[in-house]
Structure 1
């Protein structure tokens, strides 16, 4: 907020007398009062200016011109999101400290990231609390952020999970309380709920948008058929349809995003916010020689990931990654940067969520934007040859 005051000599003069026979001069008392008013106004202006300066702390303004960040529409809605977003799964309130979480968000914001994704289930609600605390502490302008959350697993009680009207409304109220926000920009229905009629889900999402609790709604881990059903229900009853789907997408997981969702993007405008671009760390190359002790796959809760890496398919993937490293070297980038930039090539992908656990890793991953122009059709073809898993679609949906 800027406050400016136009002060002229005219403003400091005493008012002219309306009596024609009296001398038209300013009395000392009147002039002193005018100067006192001016000093008071000046003091207020200075104090407001000082407050404004402190309000934004030391965060740099995040614009594409300064950072190189690219912005895309979320699906075919008018919402502009950074092509790289920051996810809070397994990190905020989990693997990292609150201080590191603040560092990550600061780095992301100062590099042009405006999309920050969380969920009511992440670290049992702690991720939302930490994200909200950082926004408040850093005094980030709410209008410069795109905050998204997901609903489904809210608590242990039968009514605290699923996508009933009750849980969608109560669950989002709980998320807003933890985030310390009046609204989120997008709320996602996290996985379809076979126990709830689609009409109820769409009506509940329309309700929270109409009541200012969210700007848009989307789906997460839904099939193309389920998304199409939601869209059809919305059109039938004049309700609000979803604008995007959150889907897993990386070098080894391609079918859904490259075959099923492009049709929805072109027909009904549903875009993609993709997650796990590095396949839970598999694509970083750190598992080439086994499972490092400090890695995620070494944790007991990630036994499934360890088994996946050590399986026959896992060993084949590591061999392919070794070949892809040579392409990355030719492009003067790292393997993670290549993998993230590859995800960004898909025209239906609005944003790729990064799930990093340390500042150096995040800075490296953000560098994928500079790699994107280097992935020409020829380079993409070489990558496809190494992977050998390109879906057989009727049309190539890449740039």
Structure 2
């Protein structure tokens, strides 16, 4: 495993972060989830990412139980706040001071830890003054409940404003967690340049595009049984953007490139995002331990310029790189 600094902080995290969105507490049984976490630890992953909204708090509980007994100082545990949790009452969502202060306490209890290394705003809250949000995050840090602050799916302008307030409050906003893959490159135009200027790293989610870049989905064929595209608990909705025969055909044309590089297609996809120097870590999930082992092999791999160009040539106009998509796909009001 290779390690990178997160933003301009002194915190190092593993190049591969294990995330439990759409799996723990939902898609897979707890014993399978625990086996995946053990496989991640065995492979050298030290960084684990979750959120209170995943499986309506169950994912945090599963992760906390799976990490029980591990040396806390050897781990980096990340979680997030914004989306509705619990019964979804009027204050069970967003980035108000009330919701943040109550949510961090719930997350720490479920994760069985006194603090998280990184506490992230899971989306931008258009209904709460940013000053209120950042003051609450600053208090969470000063109480020792979080060491650093991050954001997820914020625009470049939102990141700049949040970073300025954090600096004034004496806390460190060091990370952004956006979607990023060979197919979804919307952060490259504005978010990455802003973050490079401010000393903020990316922790990217969906580097394998919901599994599409693994090559498991064949054009003109039904999705494999048990795959994300057949999951009616949320996975199928997330992947449907990519279930297009033309795109799936192009993805299959990546296979010889992966073979030539000595990588599986999933490894090629993960290694591709790690070529971006602003990316500190790629988030991967798993429903089976062998998937973790496969993804981890992408750490430390260098892809030469010819291979990167060949990938671009294959994917062509299937790539989505419009910077405005970050704002367009964000919630305009709090989701209840």
TM-score (norm 2): 0.90
Q: 1:271-290 CA distances to partner (integer Å, 9 max, x unpaired)?
A: 10001111111111111133
Specify the alignment match of 1:308 in structure 2. Answer: 241
1:396 maps to none
Distance in 1 (CA, whole Å) between partners of 2:322 and 2:310 is 16
Q: Secondary structure at the match of 1:150?
A: strand
The reply on whether 1:203 has 2:118 as its aligned counterpart is: no
Structure with more of its chain in helix, by fraction? 1
Q: Secondary structure at the match of 2:189?
A: helix
Aligned pairs for 1:12-51 (under 5 A) are none
| SS class of match (1:194) | coil
- Match of 2:149, SS state, is strand
CA RMSD of aligned residues (A): 1.8
Q: 2:268 aligns with which of 329, 338, 356?
A: 338
Provide the C-alpha distance between the structure 1 equivalents of 2:311 and 2:211, rounded to a whole number of angstroms: 19
Runs of 4+ in 1 over 6 A off after TM superposition: none
Partner of 1:193: 125
Q: Are residues 194 and 392 of structure 1, via their aligned partners in 2, closer, same or farther at CA, if it must alter by over 3 Å?
A: closer
Distance in structure 1 (CA, Å) of the matches to 2:311 and 2:109: 45
Q: Deviation at 1:127?
A: 0.9
CA contact 2:14–2:281 (8 Å) conserved in 1:
yes
**8 Å Cα contact 1:265/1:271 also seen in 2:** yes
Contact 1:244 1:271 in 2 (8 A): yes
2:92 aligned with 1:160: yes
1:24 is matched with none
Distance 1:208 1:293 in 2: 44
Please say if residues 228 and 236 of structure 2, whose CA atoms lie closer than 8 Å, have aligned partners that are also in contact: no
Q: CA deviation at 1:224?
A: 0.9
Q: Which residue of 1 aligns with 2:176?
A: 245
TM-score by length of 1: 0.76
1:227/1:309 Cα in 2 relative to 1: closer, same or farther (>3 Å)? closer
Query: Mind listing any 5+ residue stretches in structure 1 that lack a counterpart?
Result: 1-68, 394-399
1:169 aligns to what? 101
1:182-331 matched pairs, under 5 angstroms: 182-235=114-167, 237-256=168-187, 258-288=188-218, 289-301=221-233, 302-305=235-238, 307-310=240-243, 314-331=244-261
Structure 2 CA distance for partners of 1:300 and 1:108, relative to 1, 3 Å: closer
How far is 1:392 from its partner? 9.9
1:376 aligns to 2:309 (yes or no): no
DSSP 3-state at the match of 1:287: coil
Conserved? CA contact 1:202–1:241, under 8 Å: no
Structure 2: distance between partners of 1:70 and 1:165: 37
Question: What's the secondary structure of 2:80's corresponding residue?
Answer: strand
Q: 2-side partners of 1:238 and 1:175: how far apart?
A: 23
In structure 1, how many angstroms separate the alpha carbons of the residues matched to 2:99 and 2:181? 32
| Greater relative contact order (CA < 8 Å, ≥ 6 in sequence) | 2
Equivalent in the alignment of 2:330 = none
Give yes or no for contact 2:250–2:314 (8 Å, CA) kept in 1: yes
Match of 1:77 in 2: 9
1:83, 1:351 within 8 Å by CA — same for their partners in 2?
A: yes
